[in-house]
Amino acid sequence: MTTTQPSGAPAHDRPRGLTSRHLHFIALGSAIGTGLFYGSAGAIQAAGPSVLLVYLLGGAVVYFMLRALGEMAVRHPVRGSFAEYTRAHLGGAAGFLTGWMFAFEMIIVALADLTAIGIYMGFWFPDVSRWVWIVVALLVVGAANVASTRVFGELEFWFTIVKVGAVVAMILAGAAVLVFGLSAAETTGPQNLVNHGGFFPNGVSGMVASFILVLFAFGGTEIIGVAGSEAEDPSRAIPTAINTVPARILLFYVLSILIILMINPWHTITGDESPFVQIFTALGVNWAAALLNVIVITAALSAINADIFGAGRVLSGLATQRLAPAAMTKTFRGVPVMTTLILLGVLVVGVVLNALIPESVFAVVASLATFATVFVWLMILLAHLASRRHMTPQDVTSLAYRVPLWPYGQYFAIAFILFTFGVMAWLPDFRVPLAVGMVFSIGCVALYYLTGRNRIDGVDDPVPGGYVPAAQGQ
């Protein structure tokens, strides 16, 4: 008898190429990127030492969101991940919107990182046009994603080794600076957390203003759910990966930012150079800027690699349900080749933009990602709440992996995200991205109904992967 996966495809027809090692490192590296290496300076300037609380609060939101995603993914490890969960539990329009919003988020973030690579390579090759390096980056990550799921996993594994090694080296170097008094700053140590205007130097409003930058830094962590559906043993790999989230947040964010703040008073971290460079400079490492350049390029390549993978799988899942063009259902050895090629084609826009407006493209593109990121998190949490409402007490008891602190953790995370939308409306710099996100959302929902997708047979089936439209692939 042939066993059937929740997606409706026979088990042997759904090749899985990611091992637990791959998924663990994808989870490990998903939150380590340019948002940490460079964006942390802006968050510190906005909040001062109280940014540590924001990283803890943001980390808690990410944890509850990922636990909700993990619960649904272990129960139904289907391609399409949270787009399919929102479709099943919140309706076809919600699934359509969530999937395309995530694809929008991934493309925007990938464009930002592609632009960043062009900027970083200018450190060594100032006379070479940015678009040249962007083409090279697209060729590398494109080849990895088209080759096979396992090649993607291996590339992400080694990218993560570099990123994690850099953060650990920074923490050890920072500890050496503190222990041996190597910093040239006027004061070092815990007193830096309160000496210069107190723990809340810019008041509570300053701390609140840093929410956007901190949450943006955590963007992309939801790819664990997407990658988990490609794992060889989702029921074991997904919980193992998600359960490391608290330790990762404490180590890579809270501890590293704490050390940075103790080495240099917060007001001296201006953003002219990465806070991480300042640590190595204090140790007399003159090549610190070049070292960080290598690390940040690696982080950007890793992010683009994961963005293409995540968006490709989600859009392929949508296409299976006829919520995306039928061409996106085409796979080769389990890889959604057509979807991946389409995404690479869209990312060529980054090449064009960097050739036309190299000075302003990064700021324009990066500012659009925050709305999409927290919107996807919100939909994951709402889908999880809805999934629990459809379950009997016996169903809940039989869950192999459950969220902790139910339902208060979920309500806390949802309230925090809604508050963040309010912060975006309050801060002038984020009103345009908020408006663009809202217009995109309204446009997606309108397109869902105007194209007649709301009339697809079974589009509101309450089981993730519970239906495969008869006209699929036509």
Per the CB < 8 A criterion, the answer to whether 335 and 315 are in contact is: no
Looking up tokens 């609140």, which residue turns up? 208
67-81, 319-333, 347-361, 440-454 — which one is most confidently predicted on average?
440-454
* pLDDT for residue 10: 38
Assign domain 20-392+402-455 one CATH number from 3.40.640.10, 1.20.1740.10, 1.20.140.10, 3.30.70.920. 1.20.1740.10
What distance separates the 2 farthest-apart alpha carbons in the chain? 73
Per the CB < 8 A criterion, the answer to whether 247 and 28 are in contact is: no
Q: What is the pTM of this model?
A: 0.86
Least confident of 93-102, 123-132, 220-229, 419-428: 220-229
5-14, 25-34, 437-446, 459-468 — which one is most confidently predicted on average?
437-446
pLDDT confidence of 70, banded at 50, 70, 90? very high
Residue of 389 and 21 predicted with greater confidence:
389
What is the three-class DSSP state of 18? strand
For the chain, the domains span 20-392+402-455
DSSP track, 342-400: HHHHHHHHHHHHHHH-TTTHHHHHHTTHHHHHHHHHHHHHHHHHHHHHTS-HHHHHT-S
Strand partners, 10: 4
Q: What distance, in Å, lies between the first and last C-alpha atoms of the chain? A: 29
> Beta-carbon neighbour count of residue 301 at 10 Å?
21
Distance (Å, whole) CA 56 – CA 34: 19
Distance (Å, whole) CA 239 – CA 454: 34
Strand partners, 18: 231
User: Which of 71, 95, 86 minimizes the C-alpha distance to 395?
Assistant: 71
What residue type is assigned to position 121 of the chain?
A: M
* pLDDT for residue 358: 62
Residue 367 has pLDDT above 70, yes or no: no
What is the three-class DSSP state of 283? coil
Percent residues over pLDDT 70 in the chain: 86
Distance (Å, whole) CA 22 – CA 231: 8
Residue of 283 and 149 predicted with greater confidence:
149
Residue 283 has pLDDT above 50, yes or no: yes
Backbone angles phi, psi at 77, to 5 degrees: -80, 80
> Beta-carbon neighbour count of residue 466 at 10 Å?
17
